[in-house]
A and B are shown apart, each in its own frame.
Chain A
Amino acid sequence: QKEVEQNSGPLSVPEGAIASLNCTYSDRGSQSFFWYRQYSGKSPELIMSIYSNGDKEDGRFTAQLNKASQYVSLLIRDSQPSDSATYLCAVNTGNQFYFGTGTSLTVIP
Protein backbone atom coordinates (compact mmCIF):
# COMPACT_ATOMS: atom_id res chain seq x y z
CA GLN A 1 0.00 0.00 0.00
CA LYS A 2 1.33 3.40 -0.96
CA GLU A 3 1.82 5.97 1.75
CA VAL A 4 -0.21 8.59 -0.12
CA GLU A 5 -2.93 7.86 -2.66
CA GLN A 6 -4.45 10.27 -5.14
CA ASN A 7 -6.78 9.82 -8.04
CA SER A 8 -4.54 10.46 -11.05
CA GLY A 9 -7.41 11.96 -13.05
CA PRO A 10 -7.52 13.67 -15.39
CA LEU A 11 -10.07 15.93 -13.76
CA SER A 12 -11.75 18.47 -16.01
CA VAL A 13 -13.86 21.37 -14.77
CA PRO A 14 -15.29 24.39 -16.58
CA GLU A 15 -13.89 27.82 -15.84
CA GLY A 16 -15.51 29.32 -12.75
CA ALA A 17 -16.45 25.96 -11.24
CA ILE A 18 -15.14 24.38 -8.04
CA ALA A 19 -12.42 21.76 -8.45
CA SER A 20 -12.17 19.14 -5.71
CA LEU A 21 -8.99 17.14 -5.25
CA ASN A 22 -8.67 14.29 -2.79
CA CYS A 23 -5.89 12.42 -1.04
CA THR A 24 -5.69 9.61 1.49
CA TYR A 25 -2.69 8.56 3.54
CA SER A 26 -1.79 5.37 5.36
CA ASP A 27 0.21 6.40 8.44
CA ARG A 28 -1.93 7.59 11.36
CA GLY A 29 1.17 9.18 12.86
CA SER A 30 1.49 11.66 10.01
CA GLN A 31 1.76 15.18 11.30
CA SER A 32 1.73 17.70 8.49
CA PHE A 33 -0.01 17.87 5.15
CA PHE A 34 0.70 19.91 2.07
CA TRP A 35 -0.63 20.61 -1.38
CA TYR A 36 1.74 21.45 -4.22
CA ARG A 37 1.00 22.51 -7.76
CA GLN A 38 3.28 21.34 -10.56
CA TYR A 39 3.11 22.68 -14.09
CA SER A 40 4.47 20.48 -16.84
CA GLY A 41 8.26 20.64 -16.92
CA LYS A 42 8.44 22.70 -13.73
CA SER A 43 9.13 21.89 -10.09
CA PRO A 44 6.45 21.65 -7.37
CA GLU A 45 5.17 24.92 -5.96
CA LEU A 46 3.69 25.05 -2.46
CA ILE A 47 0.02 26.06 -2.34
CA MET A 48 -1.17 25.21 1.17
CA SER A 49 -0.12 23.54 4.37
CA ILE A 50 -2.48 22.17 7.01
CA TYR A 51 -1.62 20.73 10.38
CA SER A 52 -4.88 20.29 12.31
CA ASN A 53 -8.33 18.91 11.60
CA GLY A 54 -10.77 21.17 9.83
CA ASP A 55 -10.61 23.68 7.03
CA LYS A 56 -7.96 26.21 6.12
CA GLU A 57 -8.70 28.87 3.54
CA ASP A 58 -6.28 30.94 1.49
CA GLY A 59 -7.81 32.99 -1.28
CA ARG A 60 -9.51 30.66 -3.76
CA PHE A 61 -8.01 27.59 -2.10
CA THR A 62 -9.38 25.61 0.86
CA ALA A 63 -7.57 22.65 2.36
CA GLN A 64 -9.52 20.19 4.48
CA LEU A 65 -8.03 17.64 6.87
CA ASN A 66 -9.73 14.73 8.59
CA LYS A 67 -7.18 12.74 10.57
CA ALA A 68 -9.72 10.16 11.74
CA SER A 69 -10.47 9.27 8.13
CA GLN A 70 -6.85 9.89 7.04
CA TYR A 71 -8.11 12.17 4.33
CA VAL A 72 -6.95 15.50 2.92
CA SER A 73 -8.65 17.50 0.23
CA LEU A 74 -8.12 20.70 -1.72
CA LEU A 75 -10.94 22.81 -3.10
CA ILE A 76 -10.26 25.41 -5.76
CA ARG A 77 -13.06 27.92 -6.15
CA ASP A 78 -13.66 29.97 -9.30
CA SER A 79 -11.25 27.75 -11.23
CA GLN A 80 -9.19 29.49 -13.89
CA PRO A 81 -7.43 28.04 -16.95
CA SER A 82 -4.15 28.98 -15.24
CA ASP A 83 -5.02 26.45 -12.51
CA SER A 84 -4.52 23.65 -15.06
CA ALA A 85 -1.66 21.63 -13.62
CA THR A 86 -0.88 18.51 -11.61
CA TYR A 87 -1.68 18.78 -7.91
CA LEU A 88 0.48 16.82 -5.52
CA CYS A 89 -0.54 15.85 -2.01
CA ALA A 90 2.37 15.50 0.43
CA VAL A 91 2.36 14.04 3.92
CA ASN A 92 5.07 14.36 6.54
CA THR A 93 5.90 11.38 8.72
CA GLY A 94 8.98 11.70 10.86
CA ASN A 95 11.79 13.14 8.74
CA GLN A 96 10.25 12.17 5.45
CA PHE A 97 7.79 13.64 3.03
CA TYR A 98 5.68 11.23 1.03
CA PHE A 99 4.10 12.47 -2.17
CA GLY A 100 1.18 11.09 -4.09
CA THR A 101 1.44 10.60 -7.84
CA GLY A 102 -0.63 13.73 -8.39
CA THR A 103 -4.00 14.59 -9.91
CA SER A 104 -4.03 16.25 -13.30
CA LEU A 105 -6.51 19.13 -13.45
CA THR A 106 -7.70 20.81 -16.63
CA VAL A 107 -9.85 23.94 -16.42
CA ILE A 108 -11.78 24.40 -19.63
CA PRO A 109 -12.37 28.02 -20.75
Chain B
Amino acid sequence: GAGVSQSPRYKVAKRGQDVALRCDPISGHVSLFWYQQALGQGPEFLTYFQNEAQLDKSGLPSDRFFAERPEGSVSTLKIQRTQQEDSAVYLCASSSAGGAHEQYFGPGTRLTVT
Protein backbone atom coordinates (compact mmCIF):
# COMPACT_ATOMS: atom_id res chain seq x y z
CA GLY B 1 0.00 0.00 0.00
CA ALA B 2 0.98 3.64 -0.21
CA GLY B 3 3.36 4.92 2.42
CA VAL B 4 3.71 8.35 3.95
CA SER B 5 4.16 11.06 1.35
CA GLN B 6 5.52 14.56 1.76
CA SER B 7 5.64 17.58 -0.47
CA PRO B 8 7.55 19.39 -1.64
CA ARG B 9 10.62 17.18 -1.47
CA TYR B 10 12.90 20.21 -1.69
CA LYS B 11 12.22 23.82 -0.81
CA VAL B 12 14.51 26.81 -1.06
CA ALA B 13 13.29 29.90 0.75
CA LYS B 14 14.77 33.30 1.22
CA ARG B 15 15.20 34.39 4.80
CA GLY B 16 11.98 35.95 6.02
CA GLN B 17 9.68 33.99 3.71
CA ASP B 18 6.91 31.74 4.98
CA VAL B 19 6.85 28.07 3.97
CA ALA B 20 4.27 25.29 4.22
CA LEU B 21 5.23 21.62 4.23
CA ARG B 22 2.64 18.93 3.61
CA CYS B 23 2.37 15.40 4.92
CA ASP B 24 -0.03 12.66 3.78
CA PRO B 25 0.06 9.82 6.32
CA ILE B 26 -0.64 6.16 5.65
CA SER B 27 -4.38 5.75 5.19
CA GLY B 28 -6.09 4.99 8.48
CA HIS B 29 -3.15 5.98 10.68
CA VAL B 30 -4.46 8.02 13.58
CA SER B 31 -1.15 9.34 14.85
CA LEU B 32 1.11 11.77 13.01
CA PHE B 33 4.46 13.15 14.05
CA TRP B 34 6.73 15.89 12.73
CA TYR B 35 10.49 15.82 13.23
CA GLN B 36 13.38 18.06 12.28
CA GLN B 37 16.66 16.42 11.30
CA ALA B 38 19.86 18.41 11.01
CA LEU B 39 22.83 16.99 9.14
CA GLY B 40 24.60 14.29 11.15
CA GLN B 41 21.95 14.26 13.87
CA GLY B 42 19.00 12.07 14.74
CA PRO B 43 15.47 13.32 14.16
CA GLU B 44 14.27 15.79 16.78
CA PHE B 45 10.62 15.64 17.82
CA LEU B 46 8.53 18.69 16.93
CA THR B 47 4.87 17.83 17.43
CA TYR B 48 2.33 14.98 17.64
CA PHE B 49 -1.27 14.66 16.49
CA GLN B 50 -3.79 12.02 17.35
CA ASN B 51 -6.49 12.39 14.72
CA GLU B 52 -7.09 16.17 14.53
CA ALA B 53 -5.96 16.88 18.09
CA GLN B 54 -2.46 18.24 18.60
CA LEU B 55 -1.52 16.44 21.80
CA ASP B 56 2.07 17.61 22.12
CA LYS B 57 3.80 20.58 20.55
CA SER B 58 6.59 20.89 23.05
CA GLY B 59 9.29 20.35 20.42
CA LEU B 60 8.37 23.31 18.21
CA PRO B 61 11.46 25.54 18.46
CA SER B 62 9.68 28.88 18.36
CA ASP B 63 6.30 30.51 17.79
CA ARG B 64 7.25 30.80 14.13
CA PHE B 65 6.47 27.12 13.79
CA PHE B 66 2.87 26.01 13.52
CA ALA B 67 1.31 22.65 12.62
CA GLU B 68 -2.23 21.62 11.88
CA ARG B 69 -4.20 18.53 10.93
CA PRO B 70 -7.75 19.87 10.62
CA GLU B 71 -9.50 16.73 9.36
CA GLY B 72 -7.35 14.15 11.04
CA SER B 73 -5.57 13.12 7.87
CA VAL B 74 -3.27 15.48 5.94
CA SER B 75 -1.05 17.70 8.06
CA THR B 76 0.77 20.93 7.28
CA LEU B 77 3.81 22.30 9.07
CA LYS B 78 4.13 26.04 8.56
CA ILE B 79 7.23 28.07 9.30
CA GLN B 80 6.85 31.82 9.32
CA ARG B 81 9.65 34.31 8.69
CA THR B 82 12.19 31.57 7.98
CA GLN B 83 15.70 31.89 9.39
CA GLN B 84 18.91 30.19 8.28
CA GLU B 85 18.87 27.96 11.35
CA ASP B 86 15.58 26.49 10.08
CA SER B 87 17.49 24.75 7.27
CA ALA B 88 17.05 21.03 7.86
CA VAL B 89 15.14 17.99 6.67
CA TYR B 90 11.58 17.92 7.99
CA LEU B 91 10.28 14.40 8.45
CA CYS B 92 6.73 13.28 8.92
CA ALA B 93 5.84 9.89 10.39
CA SER B 94 2.56 8.13 11.03
CA SER B 95 1.47 5.33 13.32
CA SER B 96 -1.63 3.18 13.45
CA ALA B 97 -2.00 3.77 17.17
CA GLY B 98 -0.53 6.04 19.80
CA GLY B 99 2.99 7.29 20.37
CA ALA B 100 4.21 4.01 21.83
CA HIS B 101 3.81 2.20 18.55
CA GLU B 102 5.85 1.80 15.41
CA GLN B 103 6.18 4.88 13.25
CA TYR B 104 6.70 4.94 9.51
CA PHE B 105 8.49 7.85 7.94
CA GLY B 106 7.89 9.78 4.76
CA PRO B 107 10.76 10.79 2.45
CA GLY B 108 11.15 14.19 4.10
CA THR B 109 11.28 17.76 2.86
CA ARG B 110 14.71 19.32 2.64
CA LEU B 111 14.39 23.02 3.47
CA THR B 112 17.22 25.38 2.64
CA VAL B 113 16.95 28.97 3.80
CA THR B 114 19.27 31.37 1.98
Contact = CB atoms under 8 A, between A and B. Distances in A.
Interface residues of B, number: 26
B100 A32 contact: yes
Contacts of A43: 89, 91, 105-108
Given A43-B91, A44-B91, A97 B102 contact: no
Given A42-B107, A43-B107, A95-B55, A34 B102 contact: yes
Interface in A21-44: 31-32, 34, 36, 42-44
A49 B91 CA distance: 20
Contacts, number: 58
**What secondary structure prevails in chain B residues at the interface with A?**
loop
Contact of B100 (A36, A45, A92, A101): A92
Interface in A65-100: 88, 90, 92, 94-100
Interface in B62-112: 89, 91, 98-108
Given A43-B91, A43-B107, A43-B108, A98 B99 contact: no
A56 to B, nearest CB: 13
A95 B45 CA distance: 10
B59 A101 contact: no
- Chain A interface size range: 20 to 34
Contact of B42 (A31, A95, A101): A101
A46 interface: yes
Interface string A40-61: 0011111001000000000000
Interface of B: 33, 35, 40-45, 48, 55-56, 58-59, 89, 91, 98-108
Given A49-B101, A97-B99, A97-B103, 11 more contacts: A31-B100, A43-B106, A43-B107, A88-B42, A90-B42, A96-B59, A96-B99, A97-B45, A99-B43, A101-B42, A102-B42
